[in-house]
């Protein structure tokens, strides 16, 4: 690719990319796209792709074989999208390698195999196949971040530009001042999608006002929390969207220094974002004097070894600087002293990915989505025995009941709903009678829940509340950095008490000790990990106290999963 030197050159490149994109879908050939992501690879998508490659090499079907990213419907992996000539694209799910010959043979005969179909990418039904948007998983979604998920090749900057990519960056660069960019982000009331929910525009404004130099902009793509996988899916399916948001952030701060810190366990996300950075340099969208504007920007990718604590802002910055990832006391805040003690604006991956749409459509447009205090859309991941596992993008304010039983399809046959764990490992659960609550940054808090990063776990009657609480607190115990005493000693103490209860050695006073110790851990811990570590346990104890009492007074686990019988026998 030739380096683009000005805006006119970019417009010419965009026109050529769009023409090539339109030609791809309008020709007399088949277009076959295979979703390749961490979730689909685990289910055999690479084998499906190789089998398709082998069949198509025989030349009986004139086809273009492509790779695309995750589309969110992880429950239907591996998925492929096939567009025969004269028909809209048809999305098929569960296409393992053994089904490839049968599916292709059927399509050549004009048989569409509706039992494997998710839908057609068309506004109306076609040949009896419903539109994709009518699928129960997609009906209530509002896709902005995932608009092109599963459609474009995540490793092609040309395809990203063909569907409108980097237009927001150009608008900011040539038509707006940095202050105007910040004003639009403030007007949108975009709140940080990493869990804290702090308004991004206020953070950016504070970073601009701090007089020290140089300044840095950092994307937090660490995502080390169990049950949360939305950021890595964003990077796997549309890395240029995140990069464009980072570029706009650097322009708003008038700094050439951008970083993305990606969890080392997310190998595919890391590789695809690195490739996006390389392509942006090759095209001239990164580097010095971008498109002749006078603005320069350089992005570096950093990765860690998997420590959960490095997702905390100050610990992440220490890790980028090559030091041990441990949190620090605040103030000073990172917008005053962050990387190398210079002003640093740090936001979550999803937050940066939301910025291009805000700049394209305006902050007031984004503020009209969701609720007044929780605007826009949110990526949600749901685990457990629900019908549709995956990543959904919904407007904030949707009820928890609708999220679970409509978007994610409710419980699979044979399972009965017991509760939903909110906030990843950072909050308490909700029972079924509490599900008529909006999913936003504020409404869950009075119930002891939390939106957090948007990771939820539905559990059924086969799950023991004591055992689940032990898992959640045990994670925080293992991931504690050990810097402060309340977290370092308090979380292991809670785990020891829970183990005593699980083995049948619990005492009635243990429940009071849990509440007392948790209060001090929450109030005295240095960072967010310790401040929320006991919350899942307290929530389980409040919602399912009868199960804790059964373990203590009756030496019985109603779910039959605790080693309580072994503890009694050992006595």
* 453 located within any domain: yes
Evaluate whether 24 touches 65 at the Cβ level (below 8 Å).
Answer: no
Examine the domain organization and report whether 211 and 344 are in the same domain.
Answer: yes
Helix 7-26 and helix 167-175, axial crossing angle in degrees, nearest 10: 160
- Among 349, 367, 385, residue at a domain's last position: 367
Examine the domain organization and report whether 212 and 361 are in the same domain.
Answer: yes
Percent of the chain with pLDDT over 70: 99
CA dist., res. 393 & res. 350, Å (int): 11
Phi, psi at residue 417, to the nearest 5°? -60, 135
Domain containing 353 equals: 165-367
Evaluate whether 243 touches 277 at the Cβ level (below 8 Å).
Answer: yes
Count the neighbouring beta carbons within 10 Å of the beta carbon of residue 244. 27
pLDDT in the model for residue 196: 83
Count the neighbouring beta carbons within 10 Å of the beta carbon of residue 508. 10
pLDDT in the model for residue 323: 92
Strand-pairing partners, residue 202, are none
Q: What is the DSSP letter of 285?
A: S
CA dist., res. 557 & res. 506, Å (int): 12
Evaluate whether 220 touches 261 at the Cβ level (below 8 Å).
Answer: yes
CA dist., res. 381 & res. 403, Å (int): 10
SS3 196: coil
pLDDT in 10s for each residue of the chain, 571 residues: 789 999 999 999 999 999 999 999 998 899 999 999 999 999 999 999 999 999 999 888 999 999 999 999 999 999 999 999 989 999 999 999 999 999 999 998 889 899 999 999 999 999 999 999 999 999 999 999 999 999 999 999 999 999 999 999 999 999 999 999 999 999 999 999 988 889 999 999 999 999 999 999 999 999 988 889 999 999 999 999 999 999 999 999 999 999 999 998 999 999 999 999 999 999 999 999 999 999 999 999 999 877 889 999 999 999 999 999 999 988 899 999 999 999 999 999 999 999 999 999 999 999 999 999 999 999 999 999 999 999 999 999 999 999 999 999 999 999 999 999 999 898 999 999 999 999 999 999 999 999 999 999 999 999 999 999 999 999 999 999 989 999 999 999 999 999 999 999 999 999 999 999 999 999 999 998 899 999 999 999 999 999 999 999 999 999 999 998 766 665 5
DSSP string, 363-406: HHHHHTSB-SSSBSEEEEEEESSBSS-EEEEEETT-BHHHIIII
Examine the domain organization and report whether 118 and 266 are in the same domain.
Answer: no
- Among 326, 345, 367, residue at a domain's last position: 367
**Alpha-carbon separation of residue 396 from 391, 392, 501 (angstroms):** 15, 12, 39
pLDDT in the model for residue 398: 97
Question: Which residue do the tokens 């964003």 mark?
Answer: 234
Give 369's contacts (C-beta < 8 A, 6+ positions apart).
142, 375, 376, 377, 395, 396
CA dist., res. 57 & res. 121, Å (int): 27
| Pairing of the two strands 344-348 and 216-221 | parallel
Examine the domain organization and report whether 53 and 132 are in the same domain.
Answer: yes
For 163-179, b/e burial (b = at least 16 CB within 10 A) is eebbbbbbebbeebebe
Phi, psi at residue 455, to the nearest 5°? -105, 120
CA dist., res. 80 & res. 47, Å (int): 12
Examine the domain organization and report whether 501 and 559 are in the same domain.
Answer: yes
Evaluate whether 244 touches 157 at the Cβ level (below 8 Å).
Answer: no
- Among 367, 397, 413, residue at a domain's last position: 367
CA nearest neighbour of 236 among 69, 39, 35: 69
To which H or E segment does residue 348 belong?
strand 344-348
CA dist., res. 430 & res. 436, Å (int): 10
Residue 75, domain CATH: 3.40.30.10
* 524 located within any domain: yes
Examine the domain organization and report whether 329 and 393 are in the same domain.
Answer: no
CA dist., res. 106 & res. 53, Å (int): 18
SS3 458: strand
CA dist., res. 179 & res. 191, Å (int): 18
**Alpha-carbon separation of residue 424 from 212, 221, 458, 526 (angstroms):** 36, 16, 11, 20
* 314 located within any domain: yes
Please give the structure tokens belonging to residue 432: 């079924």
Examine the domain organization and report whether 193 and 82 are in the same domain.
Answer: no
Residue 402, domain CATH: 3.10.20.600
SS3 76: helix
* 372 located within any domain: no
Evaluate whether 195 touches 324 at the Cβ level (below 8 Å).
Answer: no
To which H or E segment does residue 485 belong?
helix 485-502
Burial of 22 (0-12, 13-18, 19+ CB in 10 A): exposed
Examine the domain organization and report whether 91 and 216 are in the same domain.
Answer: no
CA nearest neighbour of 251 among 312, 184, 192: 184
| Pairing of the two strands 30-35 and 63-68 | parallel
* Total domain count, the chain: 4
Burial of 305 (0-12, 13-18, 19+ CB in 10 A): exposed
Question: Which residue do the tokens 């095209």 mark?
Answer: 283
Residue 499, domain CATH: 1.20.1440.230
Examine the domain organization and report whether 223 and 236 are in the same domain.
Answer: yes
Examine the domain organization and report whether 88 and 106 are in the same domain.
Answer: yes
Burial of 412 (0-12, 13-18, 19+ CB in 10 A): middle
Examine the domain organization and report whether 350 and 206 are in the same domain.
Answer: yes
Examine the domain organization and report whether 299 and 394 are in the same domain.
Answer: no
CA dist., res. 58 & res. 63, Å (int): 11
CA nearest neighbour of 192 among 335, 310, 355, 382: 355
Evaluate whether 411 touches 387 at the Cβ level (below 8 Å).
Answer: yes
Residue 321, domain CATH: 3.40.50.11540
* 7 located within any domain: no
Q: In which region does residue 65 sit, left (phi positive, over 0), alpha (psi from -120 to 50) or beta (all else)? A: beta
CA nearest neighbour of 83 among 126, 45, 115, 41: 126
Please give the structure tokens belonging to residue 458: 């539905």
CA dist., res. 532 & res. 537, Å (int): 10
* 299 located within any domain: yes
CA nearest neighbour of 457 among 229, 227, 232, 233: 227
Degrees (nearest 5) of the Cα angle 289, 290, 293? 70
């Amino acid at each position: 690719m030739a380096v683009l030197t000005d805006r006119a050159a970019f417009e010419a490149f965009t026109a050529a990319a769009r023409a090539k994109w339109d030609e791809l879908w309008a020709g007399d050939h088949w277009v076959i796209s295979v979703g390749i992501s961490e979730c689909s690879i685990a289910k055999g998508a690479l084998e499906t792709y190789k089998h398709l490659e082998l069949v198509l090499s025989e030349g009986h079907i004139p086809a273009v074989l492509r790779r695309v990213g995750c589309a969110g419907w992880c429950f239907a992996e591996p998925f492929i999208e096939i567009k025969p000539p004269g028909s809209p694209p048809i999305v098929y799910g569960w296409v393992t390698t053994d089904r490839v010959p049968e599916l292709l043979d059927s399509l050549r005969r004009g048989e569409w195999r509706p039992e494997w179909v998710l839908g057609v990418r068309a506004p109306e039904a076609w040949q009896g196949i419903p539109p994709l948007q009518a699928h129960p998983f997609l009906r209530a979604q509002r896709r902005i971040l995932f608009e092109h998920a599963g459609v474009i090749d995540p490793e092609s900057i040309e395809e990203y530009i063909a569907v409108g990519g980097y237009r927001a960056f150009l608008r900011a660069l040539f038509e707006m001042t940095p202050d105007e960019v910040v004003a639009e982000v403030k007007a949108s009331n975009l709140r940080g999608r990493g869990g804290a929910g702090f308004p991004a525009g206020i953070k950016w404004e504070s970073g601009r006002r701090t007089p020290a130099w140089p300044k840095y902009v950092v994307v937090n793509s660490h995502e080390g929390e169990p049950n949360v996988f939305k950021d890595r899916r964003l990077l796997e399916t549309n890395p240029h969207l995140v990069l464009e948001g980072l570029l706009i952030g650097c322009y708003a701060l008038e700094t050439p220094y951008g970083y993305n810190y990606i969890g080392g366990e997310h190998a595919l996300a890391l590789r695809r974002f690195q490739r996006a950075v390389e392509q942006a340099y090759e095209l001239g969208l990164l580097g010095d004097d971008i498109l002749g504007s006078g603005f320069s920007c350089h992005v570096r990718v950093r990765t860690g070894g998997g420590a959960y604590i490095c997702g905390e802002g100050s610990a992440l910055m220490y890790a980028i600087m090559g030091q041990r990832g441990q949190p620090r006391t605040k103030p000073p805040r990172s917008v005053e002293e962050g990387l190398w003690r210079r002003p640093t604006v740090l936001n979550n991956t999803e937050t940066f990915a939301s910025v291009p749409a805000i700049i394209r459509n305006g902050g007031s447009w984004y503020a009209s989505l969701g609720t007044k205090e929780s605007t826009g859309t949110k990526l949600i991941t749901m685990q457990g025995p629900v019908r549709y596992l995956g990543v959904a993008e919904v407007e904030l304010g949707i009820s928890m009941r609708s999220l679970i039983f409509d978007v994610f399809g409710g419980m699979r046959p044979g399972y009965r709903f017991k509760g939903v764990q909110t906030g990843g490992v950072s909050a308490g659960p909700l029972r079924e009678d509490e599900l008529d609550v909006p999913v936003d940054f504020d409404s869950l808090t009075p119930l002891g829940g939390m939106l957090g990063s948007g990771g939820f776990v539905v559990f059924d009657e086969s799950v023991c509340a004591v055992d689940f609480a032990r898992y959640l607190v045990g994670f925080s115990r293992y991931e504690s950095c050990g810097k402060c005493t309340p977290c370092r000693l308090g979380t292991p103490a809670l785990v020891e008490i829970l183990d005593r209860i699980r083995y049948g050695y619990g005492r009635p006073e243990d429940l009071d000790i849990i509440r007392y110790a948790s209060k001090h851990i929450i109030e005295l811990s240095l960072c967010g990990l310790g401040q929320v570590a006991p919350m899942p346990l307290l929530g389980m104890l409040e919602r399912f106290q009868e199960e804790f009492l059964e373990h203590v007074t009756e030496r019985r686990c109603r779910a039959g999963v605790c080693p309580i019988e072994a503890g009694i026998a050992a006595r």
